[in-house]
Amino acid sequence: MMAAARMAFASCARLLPSSPSPLILARNRAAAGSFFTPPPSSAARSNRSLALFCSSSSSVSPSEAAAMPPPPQAAVEEANKPTPAAAEGGGEKAEPTAEELVGLLDIRVGRVVKAWRHPEADTLYVEEVDVGEEEPRTICSGLVNYIPLEQLQDSNVIVLANLKPRNMRGIKSNGMLMAASDASHDNVELLTPPEGSVPGERVWFGSEDEKDRQSDPASPNQVQKKKIWESVQPHLRTTDNCVAVLGEHPMRTSTGTVFCKSLQGARVS
């Protein structure tokens, strides 16, 4: 390849008889600012055209090609230097999707063992919820204006279990009951696991075969720091059949899909 380049350069130079070398011309042009002011003669245009359209197929002796200097080493190294994007493996890493992030949430089947009104907050219930652990979890929920207390007692629910505990008017809440609500938030219904679901079973999204492909849940600190719940929640809704979904992926337990009582196209939180 280098020999071919040298031969092409030599052939171009031979087509411009008795003319100074390109290096000398460049120096003369830099020294004389008005070099390009006069229109070029027809002979000069002809020579320039010949130089422009010459090809490596012109006959150049091997000795002439060998006499041409190689390109500077610095230029070769610069041309071969990888771009920053290539050096870093193709650019910035893509942000994870909601479908990838939801696997980091610990969403479980729960059963409300006991519920009562919060003594210091008119809109809060306090529940003890069995989520498959040694002791029931204490969870505070702002459902007083939407769900009667007797309906909450002994109900099967869906619990987001890896949120950081929060102090709710003097009572530490360790989780969240998941519910569907309409656009105006006038109507709220708890998500309900299908019959036969066992407290503590982890919920997943997708087909029945995807249960075994769940990732380990993130710690409560990671969920908060990386805003995992905030990234997933806008993609949760109910279908026309009141089934809870993430995008098009239904929320499932081993016995079926999770649903609400009657709200269609509702947001889930």
CA distance 267 to 154: 25
231 falls within a domain: yes
Length of the chain counted residue by residue: 269
77 falls within a domain: no
pLDDT at residue 42 greater than cutoff 50 = no
CA distance 256 to 148: 26
Q: Could you count the other beta carbons within 10 Å of the beta carbon of residue 151?
A: 13
Token output for 172: 């530490």
Of 44 and 128, more confident: 128
pLDDT at residue 21 greater than cutoff 70 = no
User: Which own/partner pairs from 224-230 qualify as long-range (CB within 8 Å, at least 24 positions apart)?
Assistant: 224/163, 224/164, 228/101, 228/104, 228/105, 229/105, 229/160, 229/163
CATH of the domain at 116: 2.40.50.140
The predicted structure's pLDDT at residue 93: 76
75 falls within a domain: no
227 falls within a domain: yes
164 falls within a domain: yes
92 falls within a domain: no
pLDDT band at 212; cut points 50, 70, 90: confident
The predicted structure's pLDDT at residue 81: 59
The domain total for the chain is: 1
How far the first Cα of the chain sits from its last, in Å, is: 66
Residue 139 near residue 94 (C-beta atoms within 8 A)? no
Give per-residue pLDDT as tens, 151-160. 999 999 999 9
Average pLDDT over residues 116-142: 97
Residue 106 near residue 233 (C-beta atoms within 8 A)? no
pLDDT at residue 230 greater than cutoff 80 = yes
pLDDT band at 14; cut points 50, 70, 90: very low
Instruction: Kindly report whether the global pTM for this prediction surpasses the value 0.85.
Output: no
Sign of the alpha-carbon torsion through 123, 128, 131, 133? positive
Residue 158 near residue 178 (C-beta atoms within 8 A)? yes
What value does the mean pLDDT of the chain take? 80
The predicted structure's pLDDT at residue 69: 58
The parent domain of residue 199 ranges over 98-264
The predicted structure's pLDDT at residue 214: 86
* Of 231, 204, 218, 212, nearest in space to 97 by CA: 231
